[in-house]
């Protein structure tokens, strides 16, 4: 029996190249619409923004939790730290521009998480749409 992509070092991104038509459609939410998405999802638990950027990126620019919990897990270690996330909780994934967080969103959906969205445009869009005090890099 072969290893799954999550078990192969460096194969995290390759996993997302495998078509998975049976998964729910990936939901994209703009930062300006996140409050409404959280309001709709709150019945399912306290909302979480999962920041999947690397530690050095967090030092450059970070959001402040307002009405949601903020959890930082770099994309490459999400599979190893999956038990830190509640599959019933609404989770919105965030990265720099939305690419990595989209991959993590798809990964979470493939693992049975039901209330997951990608923050389209990432922290760059967050700065442009919600909080210009957040540095853009």
Average pLDDT of the chain, as a whole number: 87
Among residues 95, 36, 22, the alpha carbon closest in space to that of 68 is found at: 36
User: Is 95 considered catalytic here?
Assistant: yes
Provide the pLDDT for residue 43: 65
Is the pLDDT score of 44 beyond 80? no
Q: Pick the catalytic residue: 41, 91, 95, 102?
A: 95
DSSP-derived 3-state class of residue 41: helix
Lowest-confidence pick of 37-46, 60-69, 105-114, 118-127: 37-46
In CATH terms, 24-129 corresponds, of 3.30.200.100, 3.40.250.10, 3.20.20.70, 3.30.200.20, to: 3.40.250.10
Separation CA 124–CA 16 (nearest Å) = 23
Question: Tokens in use for 85?
Answer: 């996330």
**What pLDDT digit, counting tens, does each position of 51-110 carry?**
999 999 999 999 999 989 999 999 999 999 999 999 999 999 999 999 999 999 999 999
pTM to 2 decimals? 0.83
């Amino acid at each position: 029996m072969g290893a799954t992509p999550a078990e192969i070092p460096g194969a995290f991104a390759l996993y997302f190249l495998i078509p998975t038509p049976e998964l729910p459609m990936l939901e994209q939410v703009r930062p300006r619409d996140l409050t409404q998405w959280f309001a709709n999802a709150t019945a399912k638990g306290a909302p979480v923004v999962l920041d999947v950027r690397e530690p050095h990126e967090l030092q450059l620019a970070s959001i402040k939790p307002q009405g949601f919990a903020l959890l930082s897990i770099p994309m490459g270690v999400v599979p190893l730290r999956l038990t830190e996330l509640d599959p019933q909780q609404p989770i919105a994934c965030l990265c720099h521009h939305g690419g990595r967080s989209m991959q993590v969103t798809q990964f979470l959906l493939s693992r049975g998480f039901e209330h997951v969205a990608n923050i389209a445009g990432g922290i760059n869009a967050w700065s442009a749409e919600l909080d210009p005090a957040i540095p853009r890099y």
